[in-house]
Chain A
């Protein structure tokens, strides 16, 4: 049954540009239906701010279906809020009670600089993919799709890893701001598939080295996987580490042969 949630106190991070110090701003939502999503609550608040001739709160969002990876909020200290396996945009006010105080912050990680208010820059993820997160296969040169069978369990495991939406919650949740879950997911997706073998070790080395340029190191807290809306498993980090170690060895051997 639909319920009305009353008297929510929102403490929202406002920061007018990358160089601003930033501060919390408090807003009270007197009453709102619990059918509303978390972002719809922010829409309502923004309409009110415009009404009061103030600037709307800036936040990133797009699909509102949990698939594009654009939304990103720390809600009471939790990346994407309290609900398991749910992005911020899929979180509804059903998860909250009357008189709750909700602290809303951007992702906090030095590799994700704050642009304005709740919006951050996650371009470091793109740089990692550019460094090797692909299978080289120029348009038009591909063999028939059924030429190389892929065992179903392999395809399924690759798909599990490929489900990552690139949201960055793993980084935001990590005490070290490490990106191992994100990078491990991409490496696992491509390195498991037969099509990805030719560049397997080159890919692992390039992506991990690029990752180290931007992000902190992993000390096995596991917070990333707990926060991940797609429940990417920590196994992807193990596979990444294994391939990276082999890569250092194999790539060196190849170099010495040249």
Chain B
């Protein structure tokens, strides 16, 4: 075992990874877990917040087992969760291609991809259950791509040398979510799940140190309601929208996780965010979100910028000697397929220097001219036709005639609520699943691994661990919504929303969100340094106090009021943004998506500090977002050697 640090893990951060060899841990857990017998399951109520891949799969599975489940989503239907937008695919160690894949290979790829900052036990279990996910989804009717013989097809993805990615055209997330949604719908029809749609969690109620329930706001009426349960699961997605512009959907937000944090759940590694290299650059100030162009395009597209600062010619008029194919130049072994974080930073550095392309000089070219010449237009169309059409719809340019323009954008958040092996947060009875937890991806998630993790959590982990947590509660009374604490939290939530309406300032929530996003992007985006982060930690609070005095929310607290909803979400992003910068400042190393300018090699590659930072940073709320307390969970590695990533 490599134990690099002799610092202690905080007592609240005991991971509860079971004993035994890595491969036996999950079996050992299941063998020893406490069970609830079938007739007693009806006695337990479980609240599941979020109906994306993680939430829908958890709610459906728990209801099938016999628990009474209440499921909540702010969407009008569970089918709208942002899982729907995932394009590329889902990994699983099926080894159907016979190309040398195995559970341990998927495990070690994930650990390495995450730059040795994730917990071995969790990641190994993820790789183990990955195979069950594909079985489950096929049985549910997910129309995965097939070979002519009728068997499942696979493709390969970044960070792996085997083909283990299952996909359904460019709509893998959609098809998986519809599968989970349909399974959930069956349970709703049968009465096993009660669905609360257009209903937003606004607070979590903790009584005697245990999660007792939640308070929600009905987005159609503005009404606040308390719900009590024996256990609460948050499957509320990631917080990429802190940056304002991201590939997340417009309504993705951190409110649920943040409220959990404020109620005592530690927030882990908030500065671990993933910037995806191939997105369509911002076109103008009205831009509301960014759109991902699948990473697969880099298989045939060549990335370049002009060599001259004052270049004015159209792309096709620029001769070869005036072009810089910078990924091929810097990373000859991987070329245009260098990993996400590395490709993103390379593009940023050139654009920052003033070599960007497009009307705003804020992108780099992704050029298919060579591929079209080599393969013919037909082949390129067959491979990427739908992506080219999508690009043209958004950018208004035809990528067959002129190169695409791309630029990195926020895409995924590895950080999230700290959870132990059972996916339980530091608040007993409160669980977190999917992108909302911090568990499996370290500092950098590999492509096609988020869908896998969300479904693993919901289908194959939570049903076991929740039973283990509920069994000791059998025939014990838990607080109901008549407990005064529910009333107190409800009243506070009401006051918070009324507070936004009462400020009556001059600026909209969107204005503040945009400005906040710029700060976080500039100081805590692709590259971070002490100077910038310290600046951010004065500029964000300054903007936040403006928010508190100059916000304007029109309309009232009754009925639909999207401006009011937005105000609440932006408020939470302010506090989270502060913590992201603090976390980035205190992690004095570079690893994966967290790149500190001070810690790099001469060639500009990340330098990890295993001596001092081989740990999870988990933050405790102290009542003031500027003064959170940092705790550490030390990471130890039994089966992989810590090594430096190299893609040269």
Residue numbers of A with Cβ under 8 A of B are 2, 16-17, 32-37, 39-41, 43-44, 46-47, 49-51, 53-56, 58, 60-70, 83, 86, 90, 92, 94, 115-116, 119, 121-123, 125-126, 129-131, 133-146, 149-152, 155-156, 158-159, 162-163, 165-166, 189-190, 193, 195-196
Contacts A92-B393, A129-B185, A139-B60 given; indicate if A152 touches B148 (C-beta within 8 A).
yes
Contact B77 A135 (CB under 8 A): no
Contact B79 A189 (CB under 8 A): no
Among A70, A137, A146, contact of B136 (Cβ-Cβ < 8 Å): A137
Among B85, B144, B174, B284, contact of A35 (Cβ-Cβ < 8 Å): B284
Contacts A155-B144, A195-B141 given; indicate if A56 touches B181 (C-beta within 8 A).
no
Chain A residues within an 8 Å CB radius of B146: 149-152, 155
Chain B interface residue count, Cβ-Cβ cutoff 8 angstroms: 80
Q: Mark B233-249, 1 if CB is under 8 A from A, else 0.
A: 00000000000000001
Contact A159 B555 (CB under 8 A): no
Contact B168 A159 (CB under 8 A): yes
Q: Taking the complex as formed, is B8 at the interface, i.e. its CB lies under 8 A from any CB of chain A?
A: no
Among B175, B182, B463, contact of A135 (Cβ-Cβ < 8 Å): B182
Q: Mark B159-184, 1 if CB is under 8 A from A, else 0.
A: 00000000011010011001001110
Q: Mark B33-77, 1 if CB is under 8 A from A, else 0.
A: 000000000000000000000000100110010000000000111
Chain B residues within an 8 Å CB radius of A55: 554-555, 561, 563
Contact B288 A65 (CB under 8 A): no
Contact A43 B286 (CB under 8 A): yes
Contact B76 A122 (CB under 8 A): yes
Contact B140 A130 (CB under 8 A): no
The main secondary structure of chain A at its interface with chain B is loop
Cα distance, A53 to B554, chains bound together (Å): 6
Contacts A123-B77, A139-B136, A196-B141 given; indicate if A64 touches B284 (C-beta within 8 A).
no
Contact B251 A62 (CB under 8 A): yes
Contacts A35-B283, A121-B76, A162-B143 given; indicate if A116 touches B560 (C-beta within 8 A).
yes
Contact A116 B559 (CB under 8 A): yes
Q: Could you list 8 further interchain pairs (A-B, Cβ under 8 angstroms) beyond the known A63-B85, A134-B140, A152-B146? A: A64-B291, A69-B80, A69-B84, A142-B140, A145-B152, A146-B152, A163-B171, A163-B174
Q: Smallest distance from the beta carbon of B416 to chain A beta carbons, Å?
A: 21
Contact B189 A131 (CB under 8 A): yes
Cα distance, A122 to B77, chains bound together (Å): 8
Cα distance, A78 to B12, chains bound together (Å): 57
Chain A residues within an 8 Å CB radius of B390: 66, 90
Contacts A68-B80, A126-B77 given; indicate if A151 touches B555 (C-beta within 8 A).
no
Residue among B61, B132, B150 with max Cβ neighbours from chain A (10 Å): B150
Cα distance, A129 to B183, chains bound together (Å): 10
Which residue of A has the minimal Cβ distance to B169?
A159
Q: Smallest distance from the beta carbon of B145 to chain A beta carbons, Å?
A: 7
Contact B560 A119 (CB under 8 A): yes
Chain A residues within an 8 Å CB radius of B79: 68-69, 126, 166
Q: Smallest distance from the beta carbon of A121 to chain B beta carbons, Å?
A: 7
Q: Taking the complex as formed, is B373 at the interface, i.e. its CB lies under 8 A from any CB of chain A?
A: no
Which residue of A has the minimal Cβ distance to B397?
A1
Cα distance, A190 to B78, chains bound together (Å): 19
Q: Taking the complex as formed, is B147 at the interface, i.e. its CB lies under 8 A from any CB of chain A?
A: yes
Q: Smallest distance from the beta carbon of A244 to chain B beta carbons, Å?
A: 19
Cα distance, A86 to B393, chains bound together (Å): 9
Contact A56 B562 (CB under 8 A): yes
Chain A residues within an 8 Å CB radius of B61: 138-140
Cα distance, A97 to B562, chains bound together (Å): 30
Contact B80 A58 (CB under 8 A): no
Contact B393 A90 (CB under 8 A): yes
Contact B510 A47 (CB under 8 A): yes
Contact A139 B459 (CB under 8 A): yes
Contact A155 B145 (CB under 8 A): yes
Q: Taking the complex as formed, is B98 at the interface, i.e. its CB lies under 8 A from any CB of chain A?
A: no
Q: Taking the complex as formed, is B125 at the interface, i.e. its CB lies under 8 A from any CB of chain A?
A: no
Chain B residues within an 8 Å CB radius of A152: 146-148, 150
Contact A130 B151 (CB under 8 A): no
Chain A residues within an 8 Å CB radius of B319: none
Cα distance, A26 to B331, chains bound together (Å): 56
Closest 3 CB pairs of A and B: A149-B150, A130-B189, A142-B139
Contact B75 A70 (CB under 8 A): yes
Cα distance, A125 to B146, chains bound together (Å): 29
Chain A residues within an 8 Å CB radius of B57: 139
Contact B284 A190 (CB under 8 A): no
Q: Smallest distance from the beta carbon of A184 to chain B beta carbons, Å?
A: 16
Cα distance, A189 to B140, chains bound together (Å): 11
Cα distance, A157 to B244, chains bound together (Å): 38
Q: Smallest distance from the beta carbon of B179 to chain A beta carbons, Å?
A: 9
Contacts A131-B189, A152-B147, A159-B169 given; indicate if A50 touches B563 (C-beta within 8 A).
yes
Listed A/B pairs (18) with beta-carbon separation below 8 Å: A2-B284, A36-B286, A49-B554, A54-B554, A55-B554, A58-B560, A62-B75, A68-B84, A90-B390, A123-B77, A123-B197, A126-B197, A135-B139, A139-B183, A142-B135, A145-B94, A158-B141, A163-B174
Which residue of B has the minimal Cβ distance to A161?
B143
Q: Taking the complex as formed, is B287 at the interface, i.e. its CB lies under 8 A from any CB of chain A?
A: yes
Among A67, A137, A143, contact of B85 (Cβ-Cβ < 8 Å): A67
Cα distance, A152 to B153, chains bound together (Å): 10
Among A92, A138, A139, A144, contact of B396 (Cβ-Cβ < 8 Å): A92
Cα distance, A145 to B174, chains bound together (Å): 19
Q: Mark B456-477, 1 if CB is under 8 A from A, else 0.
A: 0001100100000000000000
Cα distance, A60 to B77, chains bound together (Å): 12
Chain A residues within an 8 Å CB radius of B140: 134-135, 137, 142, 195
Q: Taking the complex as formed, is B359 at the interface, i.e. its CB lies under 8 A from any CB of chain A?
A: yes
Q: Taking the complex as formed, is B186 at the interface, i.e. its CB lies under 8 A from any CB of chain A?
A: yes
Q: Taking the complex as formed, is B188 at the interface, i.e. its CB lies under 8 A from any CB of chain A?
A: yes
Q: Mark B123-145, 1 if CB is under 8 A from A, else 0.
A: 00000000010111111110111
Q: Taking the complex as formed, is B289 at the interface, i.e. its CB lies under 8 A from any CB of chain A?
A: yes
Contact A64 B84 (CB under 8 A): no
Q: Smallest distance from the beta carbon of B149 to chain A beta carbons, Å?
A: 6
Q: Smallest distance from the beta carbon of A37 to chain B beta carbons, Å?
A: 8
Cα distance, A67 to B145, chains bound together (Å): 19
